[in-house]
Amino acid sequence: MASRAWVKERLSLLESESPPRGPALLIYHRVGAGSRDELDVSLSQFRQQLSALERHDVLPLDTALDRVEARDDRASVVLTFDDGFADVYENAWPLLRERRLPFTLYLATAFMGRRMQWEGSTAQGPHGEGMTWSQIEELVESGLCTIGNHTHNHLRPEVLTVEDIDECTETVERHLGVSPRHFTYPWGIPVPELEPDLARRFRSSSTGVLGRNDPQTHSMRLRRVPVRHSDPIEFFEAKLTGRLRAERLYAGLVAGAKMPARLSRLLPGRAG
């Protein structure tokens, strides 16, 4: 398979299916950490992306949801950062502050001030610490940062509990004096049986399901759009203008490329 960036650049030339409607919630994890992980966007990429965002309406999450609830489907962008890695504070925050761009920070609160380590974590290489609570307090006091709940222990969906979600909220309240009004699932995988509990606790819950959000979107099933290291700027800009077909086709190519290896593990000696 050709390089990921080359494939994405070609896919970004696809025409939009329709004009963009509603907010696109962009998912970031790490910025400028220098790891090889796909979820670690380089600092130069992030600068380019912020320049591209100057042509778009970047809103706080609550403002975007106010529009959706008012059945206002104008296109907008919401910046979201999952987990709470210190490199987001060190590298992304100065640029967001300079441009006065609002963003949501979904915290996995067990890992603040220490290594962000769980199964599948992007905490690779010499870095990978969580922000300190004093750093997070600085973000909140700026008025630009909305704090969200990303569970306390970043649990997999099959073991996720209301108790762990509540522990995250209680930890945020204890350290920051604010209560998270928004939740996002670890791994992006929704747990339908938890939805009634989430609806009692939060204004919104977001998933890893790809898509924008319009007045028909359920507030407990918000869709989001990932941003990855292999995204050339053309592919990133396509996400902003509603051309998510490229993202879907790329996901299909990746899944197809991985299928032989999966079959080999499932059916040893029969795949290939």
pLDDT for the residue numbered 51: 97
The helix (run of H) or strand (run of E) holding residue 268 is: none
Tokens of 116: 């962000």
In whole angstroms, what separates CA 209 from the centre of its chain?
11
pLDDT for the residue numbered 256: 55
First to last CA, the chain: 16
pTM for this prediction: 0.87
Tokens of 257: 């490329």
pLDDT for the residue numbered 264: 43
Question: Residue 253 contacts by C-beta under 8 Å, 6 or more apart in sequence?
Answer: 1, 7
- Tell me how far apart the alpha carbons of residues 27 and 30 are, in angstroms, rounded to a whole number: 10
Q: At what angle do helices 233-240 and 245-266 cross, to 10 degrees?
A: 110
Closest of 245, 241, 189, 230 to residue 24, by C-alpha: 241
C-alpha distances in Å from residue 158, one per residue of 191, 202, 249: 8, 21, 28
In tens digits, what is the pLDDT along the chain, a chain of 272 residues? 346 655 545 544 455 557 788 999 999 999 999 988 899 999 999 999 999 999 999 999 999 999 999 999 999 999 999 999 999 999 999 999 999 999 999 999 999 999 988 876 666 655 789 999 999 999 999 999 999 999 999 999 999 999 999 999 999 999 999 999 999 999 999 999 999 999 999 999 999 999 999 999 999 999 999 999 999 999 899 889 876 776 777 666 655 554 344 434 444 443 33
| SS3 assignment, position 86 | helix
How many alpha carbons fall within 13 Å on the CB side of residue 128?
Answer: 15
C-alpha distances in Å from residue 87, one per residue of 40, 82, 184: 10, 12, 20
pLDDT for the residue numbered 271: 34
Question: Tokens 């040893």 map to which residue?
Answer: 268
pLDDT for the residue numbered 252: 63
Cβ–Cβ < 8 Å for 130, 192 = no
- Tell me how far apart the alpha carbons of residues 225 and 209 are, in angstroms, rounded to a whole number: 8
pLDDT for the residue numbered 265: 45
pLDDT for the residue numbered 36: 85
